[in-house]
Chain A
Amino acid sequence: MTLMLRTEGLAKTFTLHLRGGMMLPVLSGIDLEVHAGECVVLSGPSGAGKSTLMRSLYGNYRAEAGRILVRHGGEMVDIASAEPRIVLAVRRETLGYVSQFLRVVPRVSTLDIVADELITRGRDPAAAAVLLSRLNIPRRLHDIPPATFSGGEQQRVNLARGFIAGHPILLLDEPTASLDAENRAVVVEMIREAKQRGTAIVAICHDAEVRDAIADRLFPLTPAREAA
C-alpha cells in the first residue's frame, strides 16, 4: 500500500509566555505511518495529545521537532518545514481536516459553504446539495447560514465540507461526537467509501462502536506531561 503520511520524531511543546514561560510538553518522538485506504484512530486518555497531533499534521500547530511527510502529488512534502503557500497547496489538493466545531464566514449559506469547496477547485458544485441531503440536512435548510443550526447539524455541515473535495488524506476530529445513531451510520458509511477509494484517514473517536467500525488499527498516545 502507498505510504501517504509519515511523521518522524515529531515533538510539540507549548511555551506559555504569559505564564512566565511555562513549558507544556505534549508530544515527543511520534512516529506515525498511514497508508492509502487505511484508517488509523488515535487513542489515549483526554490530554494525551490526540488533537494536538492532528492539528500538527494539518500544519495548524507548529511542530517543535521532527518531520511530517505528506504525499502531495508525486512527492513527500514536509509540512513541518514547508513554506505557508506550500502548506496551503497541500491543504487544497491533498490534506482535508474536519475539525470538532464548525467555523464559517458569517451570513454565508450552508450550501455555499460546501459548494465553495468545489467551485474553488473548478468543479461542478451540484454534488454539494446531494452530500448535504445524504447527511440529512434537508433542502429547505440549504439556503440558511448554519449559525442557528443545532450542534449535530453544524457537525454534519462540517463533515460535508470536509468530505466533498475527496482529499487523498483526511483528518477527522471526533466526526460523530454529537450525532444520533442514524447520522452516525451515514458517517461510518462515508468513511468506508472513502477508504475504498484509497483515502488515508487519521481519526479521533471516543465512541467505541464507531471506532470499531472504521479503525484498521489504533495509534496509542500517552500523556507526556511533567512541566520542565
Chain B
Amino acid sequence: MTLLSARGLSLRFGAIPALVDVDVDLWQGEVLAIVGESGSGKTTLLNVLSGRVTPDAGHVFYRDPHGLEHDVHAMPSPALRTLHRSDWGFVHQDPRQNLRMNVSAGGNVGERLMARGARHYGNIRAEAIDWLTQVEIDASRVDDLPRTFSGGMLQRLQIARTLVTHPRLVFMDEPTGGLDVSVQARLLDLIRTLVARLGIAAVLVTHDIAVARLLAHRIAVMQRGRIVETGLTDQVLDDPQHAYTQLLVSSVLQA
C-alpha cells in the first residue's frame, strides 16, 4: 500500500505553470528523487506534497500508521502540524530554517522529542547525545550553540533533529546543496545508511543526478512543472527515454 499518493496536482504562479497534472506514489521505505533543473517545479512539488503549499487542483493522500488515509490539504492545520512533528520530517537545504540557532545542539534534538510528549530530562538528553553521535557530532558539543558549528555539522544536526522522532516519511530539499564535496560524500553516506536502517520513506529534491543515484530507489524527472519520466533510478539514468532526461544525463560531467 502506498504511504503517500498524489493525483492531478496543478499549480500556477501567475502565468507560470509550476505543476501540471502531477501524480506521485510513494511506498513505505521507498526513496523517491525528484530531479530537474532550476525552475522545473521540484521544490514546489515537495512543498505541495508536504502540505506546506496548497495546489490549485489535485489531492495528496497520506496513510497513517493505522491505515487511515488523510487528504493532506483538507486536514485542519493543527492536525497537519502534529503530522509534521511526529510522522513526518523535513530537511531543508539551509539547516538554519529548521534549527533554533539560540538553543543548544542537544536542545535542538531534544525539542522534537518533547514536542512529541517526552518529559524525562535525563532520557531526552541521553537520546539527543545518542543522535548527535549517530550523525558524527562529538557528544562533547551537546551544550554548544549551533552558530559555533560548520555548515556540514549544521546539516548533520538538522538530520539528527529530524530523525530523532523516527518519522515514517521525510521530505528533503537539496540536503547536500551548498556543502563542500568531501562533506557531501560523508553526509550522503550518512543519509543513505540511516534511511535504510530506519526504513524511512523519503521524497528527495535534488538537481544533482549523482545524489539521486546514490540515495533513491526511484526517480521522477521534472520539466516545466510536469513529470516527463519516472522509473527505477538506474534505469532512468542509464537508459533515459525522454528527450529531456537524455539531455540531463548526457550533460553531467564525468569526474
A-B contact pairs, 7 of them (CB 8 A): A17-B242, A59-B232, A60-B234, A85-B218, A105-B185, A105-B188, A105-B192
Q: List residues of chain B with CB within 8 A of the CB of A61.
A: 235, 238-239
In the complex the two chains form, is B217's CB within 8 Å of A62's CB? Answer: no
In the complex the two chains form, is B246's CB within 8 Å of A18's CB? Answer: yes
In the complex the two chains form, is B232's CB within 8 Å of A84's CB? Answer: yes
Q: Number of B residues contacting the other chain (C-beta, 8 Å)?
A: 23
In the complex the two chains form, is A88's CB within 8 Å of B246's CB? Answer: no
**Which residues of A does B touch, CB under 8 Å?**
14-18, 55, 59-62, 84-85, 87-88, 105-108, 120
A-B contacts counted at CB < 8 A amount to 50
**Which residues of B does A touch, CB under 8 Å?**
27, 30, 185-186, 188-189, 192, 196, 214, 217-218, 231-232, 234-235, 238-239, 241-243, 246-247, 250
Interface centre among B27, B186, B234, B238 (most CB of A within 10 A): B234
Assembled-state Cα–Cα distance A120/B197 (Å): 8
In the complex the two chains form, is B218's CB within 8 Å of A106's CB? Answer: no
Distance (whole angstroms) from the CB of B130 to the closest CB of chain A: 20
Assembled-state Cα–Cα distance A18/B250 (Å): 9
- A106-B235 CB under 8 A given contacts A17-B243, A84-B217, A84-B218: no
Assembled-state Cα–Cα distance A117/B77 (Å): 43
Distance (whole angstroms) from the CB of A136 to the closest CB of chain B: 27
- Select which of B217, B238, B250 is within 8 A of A85 by beta carbon: B217
Q: Closest A-chain residue to B242, C-beta based?
A: A17
In the complex the two chains form, is A88's CB within 8 Å of B196's CB? Answer: no
Assembled-state Cα–Cα distance A84/B186 (Å): 27
Q: Closest A-chain residue to B185, C-beta based?
A: A106
- Select which of B186, B217, B231, B235 is within 8 A of A107 by beta carbon: B186
Distance (whole angstroms) from the CB of A87 to the closest CB of chain B: 6
